[in-house]
Structure 1
Amino acid sequence: MATQKFFPTVKNLFPTNPTYNPEEIANFISKILVNSIPSTPLQIRQSLVSSLNPQVTHLVLSNPNVPTRSCLTFFNYLQSKPSLIVQRPDLQAHMMLVSRLFKSRKFAEAKNLLNSLILDDDIKHTFQDIVTLAALYLKEEKISCKLFDMLFRVYADNKKFEEALEVFEYMKDRDFDIDDRSCIVYLLALKKCNQTDRLFDFFHRMMSAKVDITVYSLTIVMDRMCKHGKVSEARDLLNVMMGRGLKANIYTYNTLLDAYVKKHDSNAIKELLSEMDRERLDYNAATYTLLIEASSSSMKFEALFEEMRSKGIDGDIKLYTSLISWNSKAGNMKRAFELFDELTNKGLIPNAHTYGALINGVCMAGQMAAAELLLNEMQKRGIDVCRVIFNTLIDGYCKKGLINEAFKLWDVMERKGLEPDVYVYNTIATGLCKLKRFEEAKRLLFTMEDKGVEPNTVSLTTLVCIHCKEGNLVEAKRILGEMKRKGKEFCPNTTTYNVLIDGYCKRMKMREARKLKDEMELGGLIPDVYTYTSLVHGECICGNIEEGLRLFGEMRSKGVDRSLVSYTAMISGLSKVGRSDEAFELFDEMKEAGFVPDDTVYSSLVGSLHGGD
């Protein structure tokens, strides 16, 4: 009997308001299902539908004469009519059908059914309830093992980690074969949700359960270890697993290589590369990308790029972006654009990081018109402008003194839903300072907290700088004290002290300047070339030439490289008091160090020839 005749048949067999017991209703439905056409939707009379209950459903689903596919059709019908069915399929109905699907090797359908069960909050159940029903309907251990393996994956896919772990422990306790691929599903789900501690704990459980661990699960765990700074532990784990006969692949080694590159650990990189060569592992594009990132010179990364191409390895967008970034930072924009053209000719699609690297390069070169062209091009390609690119452009405009253009970009950011961060506030405040618009810079920094943006050391150092330039050293010193009281996030750094020391030196308050140098050293900060140059200049202005010379000599003993400005300050100081021989000695030393003297140095030296002792 065809399914389309189902409705008239029901009318004939079931007169108005008949009373039938569950077995009779189940038998009738079973007969219809046996004779139904699979592709035709079921149609059941309302009076019959209202008679359906869990007992009827169970009887139909457990009837061996009803094909499994027809049971699934009936089940889906019940699920699709929530407003008509008094009681939807319960946990037992789900497990009856799942068991039948497993026996019929319809694993995809079984997984879908388990997934809907897990997501159905109306069906209250525990894992033990599933265990009980599985034992009732699945007698063969092999099939039962497959069911729990699938349930483990379904729980993992739905981020139900506690339940998944319960399944794992159940399988382990019964000596079921645990598939490493299912464990990988669980590990990847934990990784995606940043459940790092659980991930490490589960891997230990895998090892104690003697799961046949593969290089894929090992690499996942090592990756998380490295991302959380446990690089040495990741290296130790690799050694342990290789000692057990596991052979690492290029992806495993790349994980460690990435960590060493980020740590700038050149010795570890060298040792790892030697080990990779001993293991006869062929580098892939990711390996070369990491090596290029670790390169210390353009010659080295270009050689690596040529080596990669000679081996027939095609570079991906990440590698090209890394090369473009390197060249952009080095100021070699011609080569950066050549690489950009090359990648597009190869059919690779530039992303926000690629454009960001180019925009950063042209901004560093002060070519803001080129930056705007690149910005327009990426938008035409449908690439969203991210916060980093906005920040880069704002920084570029500020360095060129185009503060109004920076504020325009600020408005664009806000319209796109990107609230300016502390970097933007600091950058524009610094730009305003360079234009001597100190009041505007202060107002901007003071409004940060009102906008929910927490100021940082750079913000407060900028305020110190503004007050120093305005001659308000008392307020500058007060902010320094406030920074020290606020603690770690706001601790003054070398730049903070340098700004204040320079302020005192320019006002010939050398006693306070020296105290600040001592204070910063007691705090663990190391004076740099700017610290010493300010102090040398200040001592020379005040006529304390011997103290200036002592500080100038201390630079060398402390390993601080002298700069053109520090030489100029000392030569000028010596010249002013007529110590021309010493001034000319420093002049020669300065040229030998590779510095090109400017007009100030020549003027000072000429003046020293006419000065008295």
Structure 2
Amino acid sequence: MSSQKTFKTVKKLFPTDPTLISNQEIAQKISKTLINSGLQPLKSTPSLLFNLNPHITNLVLSNPLVPPLSCLSLFNFLQTNPSLTSHKPNLQAHVAIICRLYQAKKFAQMKIVLNGIVSNDILRFPVSEIVSLAEDERKGVKFVETLCDMLFRVYADNKMFEEAVGVFDYAEKKGFEIEERSCFVLLLALKKCGQVDLCLRFFDQMVEKGVQITVHSLTLVMNELCKRGEVKKAKALMGEMAGRQIKPNVVTYNTLLKAYIERKDFEGVNEALSLMEKDSVGYNVATCTLLIDWFGSCEKIEDAEKVFEEIHERGIEPDVYLYTSIINWNGRVGNMKRALFLFDELTQRGLVPNVHTYGALINGACKGGQMKMADILVNEMQSKGIDVNQVVFNTLIDGYCRKGMMDEALRLQDFMEGKGFQTDVFTYSTIASGLCKLNRNEEAKSLLFTMEERGVAPNVVCFTTLIDIFCKEGNFVEAKQVIQEMERKGERPNTVTYNALIDGYIKKGKMKEAHKLKKEMEDKGLMPDTYTYSSLIHGECIDGKVDEALKLFHEMYQRDLTRNVVTYTAMISGLSKDGRTDEAFKLYDEMKREGLTPDDRVYHSLVGSLHTAKS
């Protein structure tokens, strides 16, 4: 829309008649002042502005001879000057200044003015009414389209999502185009505000109305679908968009890969990697980090290391997150030498370790029982200006508990609380479990009761610890009641919970009840594990029912459960005591073939079996 045309349009809205001559004269005087001297004279002697009315304001702002920025200065002055409150620009004035700014290509200022409209209840009108004030009967379609697009963005920025969608619908109906970039702004805003349903609906609307979808919008929507667990739908959408020539990029594939990894979907991970290869989409550092985490979680540290080594061949520059991941998994498998080497390599590359990097090292040290090393790492971390967070505190407490250093764990808990951290359920459950293992049962119970008094909801570990304590005390009624309480509170007993109860019954010679619990857990969809079977085998052997123990021993093989040193030791001991020396030695040979190292108890049992056999 040309400046002259805008002025003519305004003149049509406010035609010349005797009653309005003074308005035009005032408008001309203000315009002349702005043209010749700018806003300053009007600021110094604002008497001319006291006669303002909406007609005059619009005439001035629409005058093509007044520079757009001078118009904007006047507009802003009227908006902010307290003495001119009654002369604040109306909607027509806002649209007029937007027209002038558009002509001057001052789009950032246009957006600010539009923001003023949408954030003001008095000025906020439906898009159709705003557009009607800007339309020209012969030209100006591009301006109206830009106005709609910008209004759409402003609504999105202000989290006025329904209004934004309303602008989109209006524009589509009128044949105007809302740019894909603007649509992405809305999708992103919806995502950030947790409006996932509306985000997905709007994306469908974009596709339906023929908006040129980009890979960025596709990836965002796929990510939201994956978060909701709709991974199949996300993959199908990727395929559909590929059919429209919207090719997924590495970020898109990483989104899918992450979803499969989180669900431990082996087939999905392999399929995603195959598709990447097929589409010639190379890995980036985030892909490699995901794969290292994937292989690490599958206990395939060699494959994780292979991915790490291949980054150089792929020309990928490692970052601190990649290093943190590989350090973490090496620490978890007890390879602290390698973890520390990688940490040194990280710093030599000029990368700065963060709290997660140190946390990974500290966790590895704690899991390996190297508490002195953990303390050194904490001191080093703090010397670098990195504060110890709740996770690191909990890691240290867990390390002390594993070592049976309960007094140190309790002191650290006090220190942590003194630093302003709230003891969480992980801290409570870790310490309570540690106390229980040392038979400091009353302290453990007291801690768990204190936890509930402080409003911290117990987790499955807390309940399991309580069950373990009650079983040790022979109080099976209370132990069973804890399971019922768990279920009432929405905490589902797991295999470890049942193992605690089964083990308790076995130690009291209550094998019938132990087997009943095994069946109960199976009925609930929980699979007995190696610990369950080892406990039952040990119990049957103690009870002299070696054949029953052997049935359980063979059942483990049928269920693809690993028989560990404890399992073999219990079975060999049972056979030995029953004088079944040949079978005991046969199991001993099998145990060694499986790569398990027999301990002194095995040798003692075997030697004892020879005496039993002779007698």
What SS does the corresponding residue of 1:43 show, helix, strand or coil?
helix
1:305 to 301, 304, 308: 308
Greater shift in the superposed pair: 199-208 or 300-309: 300-309
TM-score normalized by the length of structure 2: 0.89
CA contact (8 A) 2:148 2:178 kept: no
Secondary structure of 2:43's counterpart equals coil
- The CA deviation at 1:351 is 2.4
Please say if residues 494 and 526 of structure 1, whose CA atoms lie closer than 8 Å, have aligned partners that are also in contact.
Answer: yes
- Cα deviation, 1:195-246, whole Å, max 9, x if unaligned, reads 2111111111011111111222212212222222221111111211222222
Amino acid at match of 1:140: G
Report the TM-score when normalising by structure 1.
0.90
* Residues in 2 aligned to 1:459 and 1:309: alpha-carbon distance in whole angstroms: 46
Q: CA deviation at 1:128?
A: 3.7
Q: Per the alignment, do residues 375 and 562 of structure 1 end up closer, same or farther by CA in structure 2, a change over 3 Å counting?
A: same
What aligned pairs does 1:397-436 form with structure 2 within 5 A after superposition? 397-415=400-418, 417-436=420-439
Per-residue Cα deviation, 1:105-145 (whole angstroms, up to 9, x for no partner): 11111112212332345645343432332336995001110
CA contact (8 A) 1:50 1:86 kept: no
2:397 aligns with one of 387, 394, 398: 394
SS at match of 2:216: helix
Percent of aligned pairs with the same residue?
A: 55
Once the two structures are TM-superposed, the CA of residue 71 in structure 1 deviates from its matched residue by 0.7
Hey, what does 1:371 align to over in structure 2? 374
CA distance in 1, matches of 2:100, 2:399: 67
Alpha-carbon separation, structure 1, partners of 2:461 and 2:518 = 19
1:246–1:386 distance in 2 versus 1, CA, 3 Å: same
* Deviates most, 304-313 or 98-107: 304-313
After superposition, what is the alpha-carbon deviation per residue over 1:83-122, rounded to whole angstroms, capped at 9, x for unaligned? 6533422322222111211122111111122123323456
Between 111-120 and 198-207, the greater mean CA deviation after superposition = 111-120
What is aligned with 1:11? Answer: none
> 1:52: Cα distance to partner?
4.1
Whole-angstrom CA distance in 1 between matches of 2:91 and 2:67 = 21
Secondary structure, aligned partner of 1:585:
helix
Aligned length: 591
Distance 2:595 2:233 in 1: 46
- Counterparts of 1:566-585 in structure 2, within 5 Å, are 566-585=567-586
**2:606 paired residue number:** 605
Give me the whole-angstrom Cα distance separating, in 1, the residues matched to 2:480 and 2:131: 71
Over residues 309-347 of structure 1, what are the superposed CA-to-partner deviations in whole Å (9 max), with x where a residue is unaligned?
133321122222222222222222222222222222323
Matched residue, 1:12: none
Structure 1 residues 119 and 41: alpha-carbon distance in aligned structure 2, compared to 1, 3 A threshold:
farther
Alignment check: 8 A CA contact 2:118 2:124 kept: no
Which residue type is aligned with residue 554 of structure 2?
G
Alignment partner of 1:589 is 2:582: no
Instruction: State the partner residue of 2:100.
Output: 100
Residue 170 and residue 554 in structure 1: after superposition, are their counterparts in 2 closer, same or farther (change >3 A)? Answer: same
2:563 is equivalent to residue 562 of structure 1:
yes
Unmatched 5+ stretches in structure 2:
1-20
Query: 1:74: how far off?
Result: 0.9
Q: What is residue 480 of structure 1 aligned with on the other side?
A: 483
Q: Report deviation, 1:385.
A: 3.6
Tell me the equivalent position of 1:110.
110
Relative to structure 1, the CA distance from residue 270 to residue 557 in structure 2 (aligned partners, 3 Å threshold; closer, same or farther) is: closer
Quote the residue 2:9 is aligned against. Answer: none
- Provide closer, same or farther for how the CA distance between residues 221 and 84 of structure 1 changes in structure 2, counting only shifts above 3 A: same
- Preserved CA contact (<8 Å) 2:533 2:556: yes
2:383, 2:93 → 1: CA distance? 54
Which of 354, 357, 382 is residue 357 of structure 2 equivalent to? 354
Q: CA deviation at 1:37?
A: 4.7
> Structure 2: which amino acid aligns with 1:560?
L
Specify the code of the residue in structure 1 equivalent to 2:363: N
Q: 1:198 to 1:313 in 2, by over 3 A?
A: same
- Deviations along 1:524-545, whole A, 9 cap, x unmatched? 2222221122222222222223
1:448 aligns to what SS in structure 2? helix
CA contact (8 A) 1:501 1:531 kept: yes
One of 326, 341, 345 as aligned partner of 1:342: 345
CA distance in 2 between counterparts of 1:393 and 1:135 reads 68
Letter in 2 for 1:465: D
Cα distance 1:291–1:515, how it changes in 2: closer, same or farther (>3 A)?
closer
Between the aligned partners of 1:513 and 1:461, the Cα distance in structure 2 is 16
Kindly indicate whether the alpha-carbon contact (under 8 Å) linking 1:432 and 1:441 is maintained by their aligned counterparts in 2: yes
User: In structure 1, what is the Cα distance between the partners aligned to 2:415 and 2:47?
Assistant: 63
Sort the Cα spacing of 1:472 and 1:190 in 2 relative to 1 into closer, same or farther, 3 A: same
Tell me what 2:207 maps to.
207
Superposition deviation, residue 167 in structure 1? 0.8
Aligned match of 1:457: 460
Q: Tell me what 2:272 maps to.
A: 272
- The residue that corresponds to 1:14 in the other structure is none
CA distance in 2, matches of 1:185, 1:416: 41
Write the deviation string for residues 586-607 of structure 1: whole angstroms up to 9, x where unpaired.
2222222222222222222222
Secondary structure at the counterpart of residue 447 of structure 1: helix
